[in-house]
A and B are shown apart, each in its own frame.
Chain A
Amino acid sequence: MRWENRSRWIVIPLTFILLLILLFPFFVMLSTMIKAGSEVYSVPPKWIPSHVEWSNFATVWVQYDLARYFIASLVIALGATVLNTLLCVPAAYAVARLRFPGRKFAMYLLLMIEMFSPVIVIISLFKVVASFHMLDTFGALIMLDALFTLAFNTWMMNGYFKTIPKDIEEAALIDGCNRVQTMTRIMLPISVPGLVTVMIYAFIFAWNEFLFALTFISSKDKMPLTIGLYNFVGQYTTQWQYLTLAAFLALIPVLVLFYVIEKRLVAGLAGGAVKG
């Protein structure tokens, strides 16, 4: 313990320096988003702007139509969350609680699919999406975003169901509930924390998704935030004060949500040695 007392004098300054380095882009973001356009492109660049340009806030909402991108992202992310939850909860219950041939194989497969990169199938997914006549629709993004977190969320939910003692469920079965009733009346209410984790994870994934939106969305009014912001940069001179401000606004929801699930997420990824 005495070692710990002394080590603070090294630990705290070192932590401070590392944080200065690692949070650098966010300091740049905070500095740029309140600058006037003329100061964004000044040589040499300045950290502290001469004044706070409050009108930036209005400009991103009005001129850059940020609300539309927010709504698109929200529709896609909420849709993906609902679809994902509807699929992963029953599947996880089956894997966690029911005995059936192929159960081991299913668990193995789930864990492997988790590692799968959508880029590998992007060229053939294009054909699949086109054959469903879903190019340039929210539906395509909702389905694909839900799909690529499905394995992980089924896995997480399975882990959560397993922590619930079997006795509770068996008592309900004896009392005359059927399997579906035990699930909706007993298992799901107990599993709310697990449910919240998978829902948030699905939401964050869809909110941050880039590749599918890049590949499948072509009309401007369906673009989510990630693509909307990416396209900001394509223009002749990028108005970085607006872009950084939009980035800041888009980051807030995911940061907040991430803190809610962070511990469970790490536990789910690293396995039994880490407690959630």
Chain B
Amino acid sequence: MADASLSLRQRIWNPEARLAYILLLPTVLFLAAFMFYPIVYVFIMSFFRTNKLSQLVRFVGLGNFVDRFQDPEFWWACLRSLIWTAIGVCTKFLLGMTIAVLLNVKYRGQKVARMAFIIPWASSVPISALLWQWVYHPAFGLLNHTLAATGLWPNPPGWLGAPLPAFGATMWVDVWIGIPFFALVFLAGMQAVPKELYESAHMDGAGGVRSFFSITLAGLRELILISTLLSAIWTFNDFNVIYILTRAGPANTTNILITSVYMNGFVDLRFDWAAVQSVITFLILTIVSIVYARFYFRQENA
């Protein structure tokens, strides 16, 4: 008995472990105050009615959840989040893969092209969103002018003013920011695939398309999984682009789950509703990030 307690004590309280805890302490305290406590508080808040100053007024149990679940606008926001994330990630993936394939060919200026492709990711998101707002301007914006003048689209819509074009236009900005990440990851993965594989495939009579699918994509499998999960989380979480371009309008048509948290809270001053949406978003994100962490560690150990 004494022995067991001693070994346990030794395991937790030896000089090495003690140093580790001391080194971790500031970070842990910091995370506790500004991340863990706020999460707990959001959960508490979701069970209370709140006033306009976000103070807890009275306990309502699951009342807020019932409220939100009965509001069609909540389900619309969920649906928009789903569409936003699904179409967004697919588009980023396809364009990112295309760019990676293009960059994987050596020519003079390839390095410059690579740097140029990174710019949308490297650029500051709020500033990019502001630039796009000007690009999309219905009367003076150069996008519509260029589309009309070149005949590519003689009568383009006023992008941010009408529901469907606004959803598409904001989604495109999010996609546009996310493409380079995929391109860089895939390019790095492609460059790690041994050249001999392609040569022997060529000898065996496999064409370019065939060897792309059976060698390149097969070699990238793990990377594809990890980067897609990561991109899905980022896309799902994109608040800045929507807030800056449309403030979730017109008429809530660009309001997804993550923006509805902010709009419910700081615009409608319904902090209890915001808390419910925070809790739901938190649970969704936790599940996806557990999957990401799993794959990440599996790949690290492989």
Contact = CB atoms under 8 A, between A and B. Distances in A.
Contacts of B131: 25-26, 28-29, 244, 247
Contacts of B223: 270, 273-274
B102 A113 contact: no
B35 A111 contact: no
Contacts of A144: 34
Given A25-B128, A120-B285, A150-B27, A101 B34 contact: no
B194 to A, nearest CB: 14
A112 B290 contact: yes
Interface residues of B, number: 105
Given A99-B17, A112-B293, A247-B131, A147 B184 contact: no
A26 B121 CA distance: 13
**Secondary structure at chain B's binding surface: helix, strand, loop or mixed?**
helix
**Secondary structure at chain A's binding surface: helix, strand, loop or mixed?**
helix
Contact of B122 (A90, A179, A259): A259
A45 B140 contact: yes
Nearest to A31: B142
A122 B264 CA distance: 12
B107 interface: yes
Contacts of A119: 237, 239, 258-259, 261-262, 278, 281
Contacts, number: 292
Among B105, B146, B275, the most chain A Cβ lie within 10 Å of the Cβ of: B105
Interface in A236-257: 238, 240, 243-244, 247, 250-251, 254-255
A54 interface: no
A19 B237 contact: no
A47 interface: yes
Given A4-B105, A259-B122, A272 B285 contact: no
Given A4-B106, A121-B39, A210 B262 contact: no
Nearest to B127: A247
A87 B108 CA distance: 44
A93 B27 CA distance: 12
Contacts of A7: 105, 208
Given A19-B116, A112-B290, A275-B192, 18 more contacts: A19-B117, A31-B142, A47-B142, A90-B26, A98-B17, A101-B12, A112-B286, A120-B261, A128-B34, A128-B37, A147-B35, A151-B31, A208-B124, A247-B131, A255-B119, A262-B118, A266-B188, A273-B222
25 contacts: A4-B105, A4-B106, A26-B123, A47-B142, A88-B27, A94-B23, A100-B12, A100-B16, A114-B289, A115-B233, A119-B258, A121-B278, A122-B262, A128-B33, A128-B37, A147-B30, A147-B34, A207-B124, A210-B243, A229-B127, A230-B130, A247-B130, A270-B223, A273-B226, A275-B192
